[in-house]
């Protein structure tokens, strides 16, 4: 006798069509997406998501950080809802699936429950978290961080982008600032489907990643100050070259990360050079060092060695250096029961799977602080992400969404 919901399956074609439809909003220049948070493109993507949710019979809630909550009623209105979702914002040269698969995978669960006429005891809420990427406004996972009580809303509203536009003013401008108090919602559990953004699942031929942990993250903004001067007429001994200082510090960052192989990673993705003129020696460079590891002690060691090593490099070069911690979270251990629901679902559905530590940060990493949380991952081609060439197969998307479906519905308890 099949267990309740044994053969629950989502409609993979419909999910894929929705992914391709959403990908038309905020297109990149090489087949991916540039739908950065709080831009007009983000607003357009939100409106499409809301339209789809309402067409699926859900009611939309919106909080003061612009987090979206589409609710499907359960038979017990007092039961805490099961939340499922991710983010619709993308990197400037992002892919079509990072975050979006998790939001539209949640919507597909609702569409499939409607098709099957299935009710659950607990309501189910599909969520779009604002500004997961942290590119336009640092840090990453900003709105889920406010929801989880990590950041204050005022601090978040004051974050500024490269043009000096604040988060609060841009959220107001695009018309997606809700009235709901952020974090007032209580959750029975939270599940997030996400592409792996790394090479392990594809390399091992596994369809599903059962995410047991998330590695920790540290973002240190480094400002190196030297002296603008002529690249032609300034004798070498007189130069105070902030660009060269940064180069030597980035060599050090690479060395520090390698010293903690095989798990630790380190690099700088954000670099601003001033005045960035071909014939002026950079007088100032601002860059963000991104260190990650599953081990908190390793992260702390890397931060310490960066501070000491960079100070020494700049001291020897007559440069000034300042550090500011602009983002970070400790390694995450997801909820055992939710992880078990994911693993059992993969087994029940017959998908090849393996336990996995998430290399990237996700909203689930913060929500795990306030509700039992777990993640489902699917492979991506060559492990590539944060690149417009990010690609997955429809089968992988379908498998991930089916596992998400079973984990969510098992936790929300099928009634009829």
Burial 240-250 (b: 16+ CB within 10 A, else e): bbbbbbbebbb
Whether the Cβ atoms of residue 35 and residue 41 lie closer than 8 Å to each other:
yes
Residue carrying structure tokens 């990197």? 91
Instruction: For the CB of residue 380, give the shortest distance to ligand HGY in the complex, in Å.
Output: 13
Whether the Cβ atoms of residue 105 and residue 151 lie closer than 8 Å to each other:
no
Residue 8 CA to residue 31 CA, distance in Å, equals 33
Instruction: For the CB of residue 374, give the shortest distance to ligand HGY in the complex, in Å.
Output: 17
Beta strands 189-195 and 373-378: pairing type?
parallel
| Residue 332 binds ligand HGY, judged by CB under 6 A | no
DSSP per-residue codes, 363-400: HHHHHTTTS-EEEEEE--GGG--SSTT----HHHHHHH
Nearer to ligand HGY, 195 or 397 (CB): 195
Residue 173 CA to residue 159 CA, distance in Å, equals 15
Q: Of ligand HGY, Mn ion, none, which one sits near residue 99, judging by CB under 5 to 8 A according to partner kind?
A: Mn ion
List the x/- string, 375-394, binding to ligand HGY by CB under 6 A.
--------------------
3-state SS assignment for residue 189: strand
Instruction: For the CB of residue 310, give the shortest distance to ligand HGY in the complex, in Å.
Output: 22
Nearer to ligand HGY, 226 or 361 (CB): 361
Among residues 42, 98, 192, 202, the one that binds Mn ion under rule CB under 5 A: 98
**DSSP 8-state code for residue 120:** B
CA triple 380-93-252, angle to 5 deg: 85
| Residue 85 binds ligand HGY, judged by CB under 6 A | no
Nearer to ligand HGY, 112 or 197 (CB): 197
| Residue 372 binds Mn ion, judged by CB under 5 A | no
Output phi, psi for 260, to 5 deg: -115, 30
List the x/- string, 139-158, binding to ligand HGY by CB under 6 A.
-x------------------
CA distances from 195 to 28, 89, 225 (A): 19, 15, 39
Nearer to ligand HGY, 134 or 283 (CB): 134
Whether the Cβ atoms of residue 353 and residue 209 lie closer than 8 Å to each other:
yes
Question: Most distant CA pair in the chain: distance in Å?
Answer: 85
Whether the Cβ atoms of residue 102 and residue 360 lie closer than 8 Å to each other:
no
List the x/- string, 96-135, binding to ligand HGY by CB under 6 A.
------------------------------------xxx-
Nearer to Mn ion, 191 or 410 (CB): 191
Among residues 99, 145, 198, 327, the one that binds Mn ion under rule CB under 5 A: 99
| Residue 361 binds ligand HGY, judged by CB under 6 A | yes
* # residues near ligand HGY by CB under 6 A: 6
List the x/- string, 229-258, binding to ligand HGY by CB under 6 A.
------------------------------
Nearer to ligand HGY, 81 or 361 (CB): 361
């Amino acid at each position: 006798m099949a267990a309740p919901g044994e053969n629950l399956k989502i409609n993979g074609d419909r999910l894929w069509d929705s992914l391709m439809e959403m990908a038309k909003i905020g297109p990149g220049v090489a087949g991916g997406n540039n739908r950065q948070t709080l831009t007009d493109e983000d607003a357009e993507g939100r409106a499409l998501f809301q339209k789809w949710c309402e067409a699926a019979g859900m009611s939309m809630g919106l909080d003061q950080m612009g987090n979206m909550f589409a609710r499907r009623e359960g038979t017990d209105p007092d039961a805490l809802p099961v939340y499922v979702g991710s983010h619709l914002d993308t990197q400037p040269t992002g892919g079509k699936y990072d975050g979006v698969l998790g939001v539209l995978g949640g919507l597909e669960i609702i569409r499939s429950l409607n098709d099957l006429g299935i009710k659950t005891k607990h309501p189910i809420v599909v969520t779009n978290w604002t500004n997961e990427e942290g590119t336009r406004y640092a840090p990453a996972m900003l709105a889920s961080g406010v929801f989880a009580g990590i950041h204050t809303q005022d601090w978040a509203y004051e974050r500024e982008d490269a043009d000096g536009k604040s988060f609060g003013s841009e959220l107001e401008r695009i018309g997606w600032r809700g009235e709901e108090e952020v974090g007032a919602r209580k959750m029975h559990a939270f599940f997030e489907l996400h592409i792996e953004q790394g090479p392990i699942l594809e390399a091992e031929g596994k369809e599903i990643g059962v995410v047991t942990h998330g590695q920790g993250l540290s973002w240190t903004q480094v400002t190196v100050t030297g002296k603008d001067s002529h690249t032609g007429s300034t004798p070498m001994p007189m130069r105070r070259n902030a660009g060269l200082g940064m180069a030597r510090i980035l060599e050090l960052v690479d060395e520090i990360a390698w010293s903690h192989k095989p798990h630790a990673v380190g690099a700088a993705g954000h670099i601003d050079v001033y005045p960035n003129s071909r014939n002026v020696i950079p007088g100032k460079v601002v860059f963000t060092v991104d260190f990650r590891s599953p081990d908190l002690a390793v992260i702390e060691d890397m931060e310490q060695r960066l501070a000491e090593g960079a100070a020494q490099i700049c001291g020897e070069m007559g440069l000034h250096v300042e550090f500011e911690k602009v983002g970070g979270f400790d390694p995450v251990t997801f909820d055992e029961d939710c992880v078990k629901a994911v693993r059992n679902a993969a087994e029940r559905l017959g998908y090849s799977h393996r336990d996995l530590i998430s290399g990237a940060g996700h909203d689930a990493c913060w929500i795990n602080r306030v509700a039992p949380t777990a993640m489902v991952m699917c492979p991506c081609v060559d492990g590539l992400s944060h690149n417009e060439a990010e690609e997955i197969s429809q089968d992988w998307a379908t498998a991930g969404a089916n596992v998400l479906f079973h984990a969510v519905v098992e936790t929300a308890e099928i009634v009829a």
